[in-house]
Amino acid sequence: MAELSDGKKIIPIAEDASLVEAAEELGVPFSCTEGNCGTCLTRIVTGMENMSPYSEKEKIFGLEQDERLMCQSRILKGRVVIDV
């Protein structure tokens, strides 16, 4: 089991599952959900080591070290806290 949190609410999700639903519940906005628009760009507060490797589309965005696209990334294990 993995967990996505905003530091207040914790949402359990399956490991390596899409984060779109859980992140949306925490208030992350989405648009394309295909890694093209950048709307879901989110800062990871803790747990970056639990995240999937950067996707090809994330690499194109040139994200900062603590940023991920919620529609393109996954949690492989443990808890990840995001800044919403």
Contact set with ligand FES (CB under 6 A) = 30-33, 35-40, 69, 71
Could you give the residue ranges of the DSSP H alpha helices within the chain? 20-25, 56-61
For ligand FES, give the closer residue by CB, 1 or 60: 60
CB-CB contact of 65 with 76 (8 Å): no
Q: Find the shortest distance in angstroms from Cβ 12 to ligand FES.
A: 22
Query: Token match 């519940």: residue?
Result: 25
Q: Find the shortest distance in angstroms from Cβ 27 to ligand FES.
A: 14
Q: Is 4 helix (H, G, I), strand (E, B) or coil?
A: strand
For ligand FES, give the closer residue by CB, 1 or 59: 59
